[in-house]
Amino acid sequence: MFNKKINFLHSILSLTIVSTVFLFYYSNSVYNSFVAEDGIIEYLTAIFLLSISIFLIKKLFEMEKKISVNNLGIIIFSIIFFFGFGEEISWGQRIFNIETPPFFSENNLQSETNIHNLMIGGVKLNKLIFTNGLFLVFTFYFLAIPYLYNKSNNIKSLINRFSIVIPKYSQSAIFISSTIIIYIFDHERISEIWECLFAFTMLITSINPSNRKEIYS
């Protein structure tokens, strides 16, 4: 029953997020307001990322051995997604009206206190690492890792030993199909919608991974 409810929630909210792309054909101004800086989509992404980190930290403290090599996957994931949360809101700069430090004023494309909008040596870190790089890494994570986990006992044992959450096939299928739909449309700031979808899918994966019993027990 739990799995069915989670799968249903994942399907419905993923569809809702993906449907944002169609707002472009309804009203360009409405679409732009959704995907704008500090817009609904961006704050939803931040909430999902923070929720992942909080959930994993909560799980960590529920375990007998909280800080150990056996929980390395949970620890690393909680740090990564908290970092993603901070980056998404520029570490609260606009919320708390914090002045941008000189280094970021000179090297950040949006003059914000974050790393992903830095321009270093003429290279946009956002496109190189946070868009193209993460897209490839997490496409591999959703496509290849679940298959390898189920086909190789050695890989399964290694993944479970370090408590790395693994997506279910259903979660991967929803994410990949939704990604294809999103990138069929070449709209402005389309990556914001993909980031929101990704963050939500990772939240669902963290709550109900394929190896939930093995790593959370």
Q: Has residue 125 got a pLDDT over 90?
A: no
Answer yes or no: are the C-beta atoms of 1 and 195 closer than 8 Å. Answer: no
Q: Which amino acid is at 82?
A: F
Task: Grade residue 53 by pLDDT with cuts at 50, 70 and 90.
Answer: very high
Average pLDDT, the chain: 88
Domain boundaries, the chain: 11-216
The residue among 155, 186, 197, 150 whose CA lies nearest residue 10 is 197
CA 172 to chain CA mean position, Å: 13
What average pLDDT score do residues 86-114 get?
A: 91
Instruction: Identify whether the C-beta of residue 142 lies closer than 8 Å to the C-beta of residue 175.
Output: yes
Residue identified by tokens 């679409």 is: 31
Q: Cα separation of 34 and 42, whole Å?
A: 8
User: Average pLDDT in the 188-204 region?
Assistant: 89
Alpha helices, DSSP H, located in the chain: 2-18, 23-26, 28-35, 40-62, 72-88, 102-107, 125, 134-151, 153-161, 169-184, 190-207, 212-216
How high is the pLDDT of residue 93? Answer: 92
